[in-house]
Amino acid sequence: MKKLLLIFGLLFSLIFLSSCANKDTVPPDNSSTQPVEQPKTQVGPSIKDYFAYQENTRYGYEGQGNEYASYTTSVDYIKENRVQLRSNNGGTETVKVLENNNGQITLLLSKGETYYREDFTQGPSLSSNGEVILKEPLTKGTTWTLADNRKRTISNVDVEITTPSGNYKAIEVTTEGNNDKVLDYYAPNIGLVKTVFTSNGTEVSSTLSKLEKNVPLVQNVKFYYPNINDGKLYFTEKKLAFNTNDITKQVIEKEFKNQPQGNLGKVIGPNVKIKSLYLNKDNMVYIDFSKELMSEMNAGAGYESMILQSIVNTVGGYYGVEKVYLTVEGNPYSSGHIAMKKGEAFTVNFNDTVRS
């Protein structure tokens, strides 16, 4: 099962768009005797023609042969020659970063169980020698060997493929392992339209069934709020919409300020800014606030503690961690009631929390 998930996690992440080649221009017979420079022509499609991802686009694939063969792929970030894709097959969410460079498309990162949004298009987590997904020349017979000794080949360039979303003429790319074979089919102006995985007589396929435009990524996030009347934290599940290239900290900050009705108290004031928010390699979430977090709080010791726990539970729950390092203007949290030491983190605690 893990092998199938890993293979399909790689396959569905790549969405390519097609290209068109220009025709030669021939000078007329009565042209002058001066040499005429012929316009340069494109011999065939290039990598850049297939690396044209669109913002807020979701690709849906229906599967056969395995429960995880059906999935959706959406675009988290587009940054120059890199793109971050998010796939969801019902069992897990996987983030991948692809790069278009030097005539090839390379997988720089594949990170499973990633249910939070974070920009991975830059940073040390990217591989310096990633897996080549596609490379020029984009003609039949182009072959390269992967790090695990699998062989990948452009095995055909004009294949008829029928899918629920339409009929296409597609490029066929074959990847062969010990007892496995994967066929990927890419159609002009669409991208990946079908994948077929075979191993020891077993066949699993994923086929493009839907392509949706102007669709944001929607995530269900639990936000926690203090109730001073009974001293408990109440949570409400909110649907957060993320467009391509949205900054996660800004979306969460805005939603924190949308206080629910009833006896639940506010968590941050109207002028508070989340200056940074990320998951560190020590598996702790680091969140830094502007100074208004404390100046606009106006709470006693008990209520202040509830506010901080609401923040910690919300971001800790979103990232799926146990510790949150909370700072103000880069310094450990320190008020008249609570003083944290440098490096000291708050602990996520869902005990005695109540659904609002």
DSSP 155-172: EEEEEEEEETTEEEEEEE
Quote the pLDDT of residue 19: 34
pLDDT digit string (tens) for 224-265? Answer: 999 988 999 999 999 999 999 999 999 999 999 988 878 899
* pLDDT score of 181: 96
Instruction: Categorize the per-residue pLDDT at 43 as very low, low, confident or very high, splitting at 50, 70 and 90.
Output: low
Quote the CA–CA distance of 318 and 278 in Å, as a whole number: 11
Domains, the chain, in order of start with CATH, read 2-22+41-212 (2.40.360), 217-355 (no CATH)
Give residue 190's pLDDT: 77
Only one residue has tokens 């990320």, namely 278
Q: What's at 33, amino acid-wise?
A: T
Q: Which residues pair with 64 in a beta bridge?
A: 205
**What was the pLDDT predicted at 29?**
39
Q: Half-sphere exposure of residue 7, counting CA atoms within 13 Å on the CB side?
A: 26
Which residue from 57, 59, 53, 85 is spatially nearest to 72, judged by alpha carbons?
59
CA distances from 2 to 7, 244, 309 (A): 9, 29, 37
Model confidence at 54, in pLDDT bands (50, 70, 90)? confident
Instruction: Give every strand in the sheet of 354-355, ordered side by side.
Output: 217-227, 232-242, 354-355
Pairing of strands 143-145, 202-212: unpaired
Of 24-28, 78-82, 93-97, 293-297, minimum mean pLDDT range:
24-28
pLDDT of res. 205: 97
pLDDT at 336: 82
Q: In this predicted model, what pLDDT tens digit does every residue of 285-321 receive, in sequence order?
A: 999 999 999 999 988 889 999 999 999 999 999 999 9
**pLDDT reading at 142 higher than 60:** yes
pLDDT computed for residue 39 by the predictor: 44
> According to the model, what pLDDT value does residue 275 have?
98
Asked if 85 and 75 count as a contact pair (C-beta separation under 8 A), the reply is yes
pLDDT digits (tens, 9 = 90+) for 2-15: 444 444 444 444 43
Q: Give me the pLDDT at residue 262, please.
A: 80
Detail the DSSP E strand segments found in 21-142: 58-64, 71-79, 82-88, 93-101, 104-111, 131-135
Residue type (1 letter), 127: S
> Which tokens belong to 281?
């390699």
Question: Nearest-CA neighbor of 142 among 105, 167, 108, 109?
Answer: 105
Q: Does residue 50 surpass a pLDDT of 50?
A: yes
The separation between the first and the last C-alpha atoms of the chain, rounded to the nearest angstrom, is 38
Q: What percent of the chain has pLDDT over 70?
A: 87
Q: Where is 297: in which H helix or E strand?
A: none
Q: Specify the pLDDT at position 206.
A: 97
**pLDDT beyond 70 at 41:** no
Mean pLDDT of 32-46: 50
Contact call for residues 69 and 10 (beta carbons, < 8 A)? no
CB atoms within 10 A of CB 339: 10
Residue 162: what pLDDT?
A: 94
Residue 18 contacts residue 188 (beta carbons within 8 Å): yes
**Weakest-pLDDT range from 34-48, 91-105, 299-313, 332-346:** 34-48
Cα atoms in the Cβ-side hemisphere of radius 13 Å centred on 255: 23
Mean pLDDT value of segment 98-118: 94
Per-residue model confidence (pLDDT) at position 44: 61
Cβ-contact 132, 152 below 8 angstroms: yes
Which pLDDT score, from 0 to 100, does residue 128 have? 85
Mean pLDDT of 17-46: 43
